[in-house]
Chain A
């Protein structure tokens, strides 16, 4: 039947393909119908015989075959089925038959039904393998873990051989059976019935909703070549929580991993209105009935009291707490050691916090594998990141331990292991009960207690020895451990009478860790005799009769105890003097000695004994070649150097004292070895700016010789005072100054020189400011010759006030200044010259005038006083003259200047009439404006004119010019003729230009004009009696005055001339500027020197 089907199927496929290619061909359509007809005929033929043979199996051993009965066959029809399977076997069966599984390959099956016979070819490949439907034996639930446990039987005994089985399990939830999960589970059939278990943990608490479970299987027999199909699903089994009608929230107190998801539900009969996770509102997932759930995704770590989940109903609320945390971290830094070889302490760090506390906290178990013992860490809250520790009692005869530390909490567990030999991991306790006991002055015994049984190992201990003001010393000691924990050692090489502080720490060998340092133990070693005698020096008293012996107290290291007293003895060949029991604070003694050579011996004593004596000779070896040198220190000390002297066999001694102190002066001394050539002298007593005397002694044959004497400062400072100076002598151009030395105490350094400043200036107006600022008007003289005590300042100006300043300086700086004001004397030579020159000029002028007058005497006579006046020259008779026409106002006889053009002198005695044509030029009209070049002689005009002053004279504009008339006044005192500057001469001086005028001025002008000009004329023109002596009381630069600027200004002498620039006539206005030193004067004129 199947073959037929296949055969028919094959042409059918061919027809289909042709039809596809030639769909448009109608012929092919007809052919297709023809074929369909034929097939229908064949099929109807088949239906008359058994057909559609099918075989299935559910156990691979029996095939259950069935076929379709031929048409017309009723129920209960019998068939004869024969199978060719190597042998021919026939069965008489009804419609279905179970036949044993056939071997692989084709088998002919003949089914006889009456007369119709159907033949089939049966192959295993055509058989379907459908396992029996599995049956769930049991479905249980663990509500606490939300886990379903499924149990079923695989019925493997029915299968002939081992096969792999795939079980498919489906989980459904809620009453509407929503599929939650479908999972597979693989097993193997082993020929026996086997009950299988399978568990599944729900993401939702099982209490929240009913859960259903179904199962089916698929057996994969590799030898079966037929169709392997899934079994049918089993009957569903369900799990539901039997509510007691009380509202509850699930899960309760669940511990989950941080970051995971969780579903929380509320099983209730009431309507839930709100769900909160902490303070966050959550959407509700509705389950069966009023039950609701919420889903929390990626939950974060909880607080210690957990995360609250709350469901609110109408008038109540329900909740649960979720603890989100981490599984325990691997214990870190696990370390096991012992303090005392009795107990092992293991410490570790918990690592990452789990966020779980209380009963959910991590529990630790320490397991030792060799002994099989374990200890459990008792729960105690340890601050985060603090070490945990567990104690494990050591076992006798076991040194090596293999520890496993297991950490566990509800979310998981972890572990850490450590293999340790405890004898190599000894960390001793802190040594206690440290005690010190004397052995002698340089050794003590030290004992301490170290808990533990170290009898089998060696200890390495370290002793720290501290001495005051000294570097601490560490001494390592190896000792055998003891059982009783008491240890004792001797500590030597100590100093007598010294306070020591001891402390101890220990470790073991091999080294692992030091213990902590023990408490410090302080101890004072006993005294010993002083190791050396005191450092000794001697000085003779000022009167030379007594010898003063000095010694220094011994240092602590040298004294070896408390120095109680000193013994001093002086011995010579003849006698010995002793001073004993000089108590300690005293460090000098005075003994009356003659000038013999004594050896002084000083011994220090403490409670144990006396020191070796220190010896020094009383007398000094003279030294004739001694110079005093200077030295300057470095602030805190002073460096002294000297040349090496092989003769000095003992040592060198430098003593020093303050130079201002009286002899014997000794501040301190210092001894240096004989091979030294320099030393730095330092002392707390040194002060800057203080002069000290240093004396270098060399020692040979126990006698000291003064080699050098040095004065010096550790640091130079500026002088504190200025040198006192006085003016020894003053002249017109120089000042001699003398000053005194500055005392040493105030000098505060080596004097390097003086600075002398001077400048012009008076006390009130001049301040010597900014001496060092380089002012150009200040002159400075640097006197570096400190032996110089005088200074003459030359090239000064006479009668000038000078400001003098003197200051001293050292390398430490400039001292203060001292100043003085001095006025130089007047220059007498200049004064004389100023008097003589005007006199000489006047004489010369007089002589010249006399000569001229003598030579022109006739002309003068004719001109000015002829014997017979010429009437033509009389202006009174020239009314109609054109000369007078210009003035219509002249109605009366006016005595105008009438210059005759020709003067004819009739001299009978003269042989030849002499006519002189003299052109008389009006001084007003024809005088050149600039008359500065006019010689005095030019003003002598040979003419005659009545002594009339023209109107222009009264012109106020000419008043000032009138002031410039050349009337000469003589300085009564100086007798010098003043010399006017050319530019100060009047430009237009009709009066001055009119030649000589007597000092008696006859005013002829109008009364009004006269009145107006009267005052001016009084000031400017004409002779003026020198009655107003008050006006002489003026300041003049050449007026001598006191050096004291505050003294009254005394003016003497008289004004020289109205033409003088000096104050001849006092100004009316008091505000007029007074004369200053910068004004012009005769003395200035003659001196003509620069200011300097």
Chain B
């Protein structure tokens, strides 16, 4: 039985470092190649030695597919392709191809230039890696080779995010990142009822069922507004690209409508560029934005200005979007520390936070934070130096001298799941759409996955897998065999069922399957014999019936003939000159035995092909006996 194997190298019962190996129909595909935000050592990249211990991966992988530009899905790509070694095709959508190298370069800068790590990929490696990228268009069927084809669907998670349908013969797998259920509002259809053998889905928000988006938006605006009104500052930690742009649009229109004056800032230099990408790739955003883009490009903001570090100390209310989104490093963390002590302020976490990050801690209600920083001679600037990842610290702590800093969190902490990860409802909807035969969950916490797994198995009665990293889930498939049937044969069978075949009434057909050089042809037996130059094997039956009749042989035959004619209505009966009677294709002969001329032997002969139901043989032989009795 053919089978499909799925092995996560990352994101198996875990969030971050997505990297899933799929082998299907003899092809090996790597889905995503991400890094883990929570680690700074070897564990940050997937363990590629699982694929091969020595050497390059090119021989072992047919292609790599990247679902979207978040680093936990593409962060290990240059490491994999340039340092481990992979020269095959890497597929991603156009927006991903545009934005991914920028984020990789940013990531590299932080790691190498600021943290001083060596043995990391270089700028040149990122460029070389991107040269191996083949851009994907939505719905385009890409033939990776003769057998393997992939097709991308709109996923709506972030700009350029895609679901991929991977198909070899009649086996298929769908891989989807966090599907945004609002994806349906996009002009292109969501996903067809493609009935894949396995649907691999992220399950980051497996247990949350979020209220409507509009409610959340209203709630968000209300909270921001209240804080501004009482003179507080609002910090919104975000990732540079993605939901940040949507929140910007939301605030921008709100400010316009309410005529608010408090400044809105967006940190990091990437933003302007990011907005520019959104402008050029507007066909990948939602329909509302696309519709109005000629009159007013939504990504040209009037109220939102670039942030400068010194603004954080300005008095009065303000709203700041700062990166990164989990408060684990960088500007968002810096601002957080400055504002944490004032209860008038507010931090709104618009997305998921990985365990170990400050974001995760404060969302879990922790009010006193232990901040570790690399100690320097001048304690005064310790704030600036804690810039990069704190929670990784333990390892480094042995090497460097650390000091601990107590931070009281007095500001309000709000959580709003604006991040576009799939929630339970979205996943269930997707299953309903695609109708997979099996489900496989990745990129989520084990406990939550377990919950969703139960729900899926109960509701859809399909098997649901959730392999851990390095574990393989195996699904046996049962593909049907495509065969070319001769049209004559098909039509003949159809004609038997009447002029208009009743689709509910299946028809029986008999044919011969010829297997020759990878081709399978189903033809009628006669055609097969002709094509293969074979002679038909004739199977004949002859049955002897003894009867007493004083007449001569020809007379007996003639009497039988006339008798049959009167009894067997509706059959063609012929009396041939060579002394035989034919009833359809059944031959009847008469011979008399040498000893007793009255004892006649009736020979009935028919071939195997004569269909049983139409065959008058049995009646004939009975007739013979009757005849016999009559005479005697």
The answer to whether A and B assemble together is no
Could you tell me which A residues sit within 8 Å of B by CB distance?
A: none
